[in-house]
Amino acid sequence: MTALPPGATIGILGGGQLGRMLSVAASRLGYLTHIYEPGAAPAAHVAHAVTQAPYEDEAALRAFAAGVSVITYEFENVAATALDLLGAARPIRPNIDALAVSQDRLTEKTFLGGLGLATAPFRDIPDLAALQTALAELGAPAILKTRRMGYDGKGQVRIDDPGQAADAFAAMAGQDAILEGFVDFRREVSVIVARGLSGETVCFDPGENVHEGGILRTTRVPAALSGAERTDAALLAGRVVNALDYVGVLGVELFVTNAGLVVNEIAPRVHNSGHWTQAGCAVDQFEQHIRAVAGLPLGDGRRHADVVMENLIGDDMDRLPAHLAAPATQVHLYGKSEVRPGRKMGHVNRITG
């Protein structure tokens, strides 16, 4: 297992803020990055090379692969055909199977259940009749979600009454869907775990998340968890990455219930709820991911501070001067020129203890 030498190039699929922060972490470790992104790329500002091309452009994908030593990604919705082509040329870390598991909520929940981990009760919903049956079985409220491509609460409809089934089904616009029973949770936490090329894992302290309108608002560490819950969170995250023979950082979103931890979803990448590690750990999630995919030993991810991470979404940018003036506060901006409602423009990490 040889580590990438300094000066090697890491390919990153996706040029958003996660790709940008991965690129900065890679350059701190002496690597170059090449970003592949069909659209505008905040990551391009801090990368050595950029390919702006669609994921269907085979010639562009081949040229990209030829110029990098290893390929990673900042988002999970990369088309399978592109991954197959790239994977034939270069190692993809985390591996394609791990990505496939988390791309589809049905596959993901089936996989998690197979590991003995608790998830929301769920049913496959191929048609309206299946939705009506599932609602009768799981009860309301329930949440109908597209199986693929959902993020930040998009592609989801809450059903409070079985009479809303037809409208909810229509809102899926023909996409495959699952129905999830409603989980009565006390709080939402997430745990970010890293697994290295030789199978060692490092788990960050769980963070407590607050969402608004389906979008992450704040993450706070330490999370208000019992010692037993904290241990369970780390153990289940370790089981997930071992089962996937995973290399890199993975985010596990959890519901904390009176009956224990319930897995909401897994994200095979660095995660917004792990941004606090930039201010709370010697080695943050971005460096940990780059270390893993480059074959370096994982770093020290122990938490040395209490941190509140707050996303700067849309008009939150108006408060930037106050954040810049605040003590013990890191400001991270993503270089997006246009402010739009619901758009993540940056985040701040406030050290609170």
Instruction: Return residues touching ligand AMP (CB under 6 A).
Output: 120, 143, 150, 153, 180, 182-183, 188, 211, 214, 253, 264-265
CA distance 110 to 103: 12
Q: Please report how close the Cβ of residue 167 comes to ligand AMP at its closest, in angstroms.
A: 19
Q: Is 349 helix (H, G, I), strand (E, B) or coil?
A: strand
Whichever of 183 and 333 has its CB closer to ligand AMP, that residue is 183
Between residues 31 and 255, which has the closer beta carbon with respect to ligand AMP? 255
Closer residue to ligand AMP (CB): 21 or 143: 143
For ligand AMP, give the closer residue by CB, 62 or 211: 211
Considering the complex, state which of residue 47 and residue 221 has its C-beta at the smaller distance from ligand AMP: 221
We find the least distance from the C-beta atom of residue 111 to ligand AMP, in angstroms, to be 15
Q: How far is the CB of 136 from ligand AMP (least distance, A)?
A: 17
Minimum CB–partner distance for residue 152 and ligand AMP (Å): 7
E-only strand ranges, 245-339: 248-257, 260-267, 307-313, 329-333
Q: Among all chains, which residue has been given the structure tokens 């702006």? A: 52
Rounded least distance, CB 87 to ligand AMP, Å: 27
Minimum CB distance to ligand AMP smaller for 173 or for 325: 173
Q: In the complex with ligand AMP, which residue's Cβ is closer, 188 or 284?
A: 188
Minimum distance of ligand AMP from residue 121's CB (angstroms)? 8
Cis peptide before 91 (omega within 30 of 0): no
Closest separation in Å from C-beta 184 to ligand AMP? 8
Q: How far is the CB of 172 from ligand AMP (least distance, A)?
A: 14
With beta carbons less than 8 A apart as the criterion, state whether 256 and 187 touch: yes
Q: Which residues contact 298 (CB under 8 A, 6 or more apart)?
A: 194, 196, 200, 201, 202, 283, 288, 291, 292
Query: Contact, 142 vs 135, CB < 8 A?
Result: yes
Query: How far apart, in whole angstroms, are the C-alpha atoms of residue 284 and residue 25?
Result: 9
Cα–Cα–Cα angle for 31, 243, 83, nearest 5°? 50
Indicate the residue among 123 and 289 with the shorter CB distance to ligand AMP.
Answer: 123
CB 162 within 8 A of CB 135: yes
Cβ distance to ligand AMP smaller for residue 139 or 297: 139
149 backbone φψ class: left, alpha, beta (φ>0; ψ -120 to 50): left
Residue of 110, 91, 79 whose CA lies nearest to 14 = 79
Q: How far apart are CA 191 and CA 207, in angstroms?
A: 6
The alpha carbon dihedral of 75, 79, 80, 81 has a sign of negative
Min dist. Cβ of residue 304 to ligand AMP (A): 28
Q: What are phi and psi of 173, to 5 degrees?
A: 50, 40
